[in-house]
Amino acid sequence: MSDQTTSQPRTGSLTGSLSFALAPWIVAAVLLLFLPMIFQANSAITIMNQMWITVIFALAYNMLLGQGGMLSFGHAVYMGVGGFFCMHIMNWDSFERIPLPLLPVFGGLFGMGLAILVGAFSTRKAGTVFAMISLGVGELIAACSVIIVVFFGGEEGISGDRTYGLPFMGVEFLKQIEVYYLIAFWLMISAALMYLFSRTPIGRMANAVRDNPERAEFLGYSARWVRFYSFVASGFFCGVAGALFAINYEILTEENLNTASSGVILLVTFLGGVGFFFGPILGAIVFTLVQTVLSLQTELWAFYAGILFVATVMFFPGGLAGVLMMHVPAIRLGKAKLLLVPYIKTLIPAAIGILGLAALVEMIFHYRHASTGDNEMTLFWTTFDSHAVMPWIVVIAVIVIAFGVMRRNLPEMTDAWDEANHAEEG
């Protein structure tokens, strides 16, 4: 019975399935177009620019991690080197003859060039060998950035001015919003190309080699060359992200290619979910929000981001995309609505409990670190004395009650889950 339901969308009419496949892309394009009209503040545009650049980088990273099964610990270098090259183009006399929107092509080619050089030896093996080489190369290039000062600019990095480029249809890219649309344009192009890549013969074989390299070799494909081509394609889009970074910030430093940045993109991608094409998009959006919005609220944002990552790895190895896609069977069975009330009854207390825990962490931090005499702190729009007893009692009570309610309602949710995923026989 359930076999039939899964094969139905494919046997539908070709035009039907085509518009079905295009729908998410159209929604994304419309969102990209109108978001700056909803969030008009400069700070919002800045956050979105950073977000879309991270989306491209994370998608490019997932061409390796999710689709090719290659764990890279040094992928920031492909974005960084692409960005540095673009910075030099911006500082070059002939830049006035190059339209700025074309810069990402150059960034991509430089990222790709580096990927060809490194991939030529690093893709020979997958697994630990590949991971260690990627780490070594990452460290090596990051170390070069302090040594080769002419190219990387030493500690200050390299800065430039994007407005020196050839005006593009009258646009000089002075304003953030102009840069926004440039980034959004390249995001759509890159995401579409990366998606299409996954549907090509080499993209399909990248999955095959990821799952079973030996079998792929006995079907005529060299696992090594399949990995190499994925690696090079990934390098291209990392370079595109690097170029957009250069355009957006007009400065690149060692930080853009060090191991910490490489680590962040791994976590971002994993948070979003490596198993689905759109996973890294979610990861990049959530992480950028944590990094920007949450960091304005609390100094401890990195601590919360760390907990989020650990919780993802431990409890939701499929990432955010995995959690969403878990619901597809229930939706197909038309029983997803059974989950709504149990979700509200369980997840709202859980959220309150988690916020309570965060409040406790903030209070401990304030209690330990605030200067003497400055006992007042503000949390969730409430100002109180962190050295008084009452706030502690309240917060601990909220946590205990919230998690208590969650625990009581949990069986109801698991029952609803089983019911929603249970196909009726016959």
Per CB under 8 A, residues contacting other proteins are 3, 6-7, 10, 196-197, 199-205, 207-208, 211-212, 214-222, 225-226, 229, 233
Nearest residue to 67 (alpha-carbon basis) of 263, 267, 229, 238: 229
Nearest-angstrom CA–CA distance, 386 and 376: 6
Between residues 204 and 407, which has the closer beta carbon with respect to other proteins? 204
Give the three-class secondary structure for 415: helix
Q: At what angle do helices 14-38 and 42-68 cross, to 10 degrees?
A: 150
Between residues 234 and 256, which has the closer beta carbon with respect to other proteins? 234
Nearest residue to 257 (alpha-carbon basis) of 76, 84, 136: 76
Contact 324, 411 (CB under 8 A): no
| The residue count for the chain | 426
Between residues 204 and 337, which has the closer beta carbon with respect to other proteins? 204
Q: What is the 3-state secondary structure (H, E, C) of 213-246?
A: HHHHHCCCCCHHHHHHHHHHHHHHHHHHHHHHHH
Q: Closest approach of Cβ 178 to other proteins, in Å? A: 32
Between residues 218 and 380, which has the closer beta carbon with respect to other proteins? 218
Between residues 212 and 292, which has the closer beta carbon with respect to other proteins? 212
Q: Closest approach of Cβ 398 to other proteins, in Å? A: 43
Q: Closest approach of Cβ 203 to other proteins, in Å? A: 7
Q: Closest approach of Cβ 64 to other proteins, in Å? A: 15
Q: Closest approach of Cβ 197 to other proteins, in Å? A: 6
User: In 39-102, which residue ranges form alpha helices assigned H by DSSP?
Assistant: 42-68, 76-90
Residue type, 45: I
Taking every pair of C-alpha atoms in the chain, what is the biggest distance, in angstroms? 74
Nearest residue to 185 (alpha-carbon basis) of 166, 197, 171, 201: 171
- The single-letter DSSP state of residue 171 is B
Q: Which residues pair with 160 in a beta bridge?
A: none
Between residues 199 and 368, which has the closer beta carbon with respect to other proteins? 199
DSSP run (H or E) holding 379? strand 376-379
Between residues 101 and 213, which has the closer beta carbon with respect to other proteins? 213
Contact 252, 158 (CB under 8 A): yes
Alpha carbon distance, N-terminus to C-terminus of the chain: 7
Between residues 224 and 345, which has the closer beta carbon with respect to other proteins? 224
Nearest-angstrom CA–CA distance, 148 and 150: 6
Q: Closest approach of Cβ 202 to other proteins, in Å? A: 5
Q: Closest approach of Cβ 111 to other proteins, in Å? A: 16
Nearest residue to 174 (alpha-carbon basis) of 250, 251, 93, 287: 250
Nearest-angstrom CA–CA distance, 1 and 409: 32
Between residues 57 and 229, which has the closer beta carbon with respect to other proteins? 229
Q: Closest approach of Cβ 18 to other proteins, in Å? A: 10
Between residues 220 and 373, which has the closer beta carbon with respect to other proteins? 220
Residue type, 140: L
Q: Closest approach of Cβ 133 to other proteins, in Å? A: 21
Q: Closest approach of Cβ 211 to other proteins, in Å? A: 5
Alpha-carbon dihedral 343, 344, 349, 355, rounded to 10 degrees: 90
